[in-house]
Amino acid sequence: MDRITAIEKSCTVFICGLIGLLPLIGLIPATYALVSGRMIRVRYRESWNPASRYLNAGIWMAALGFLSSAITLFLMVAAVALNVGE
Q: Is the dihedral of CA 54, 57, 6, 70 positive or negative?
A: negative
Q: Are 45 and 4 in contact (CB under 8 A)?
A: no
pLDDT higher than 80, residue 1: no
Domain count across the chain: 1
Q: How confident is the model at residue 3 (pLDDT cuts 50, 70, 90)?
A: confident
Q: Is the dihedral of CA 35, 36, 39, 45 positive or negative?
A: negative
Q: Residue 78's domain spans which residues?
A: 3-84
Q: Are 40 and 13 in contact (CB under 8 A)?
A: yes
Q: Are 52 and 21 in contact (CB under 8 A)?
A: no
Task: Specify the higher pLDDT residue, 44 or 65.
Answer: 65
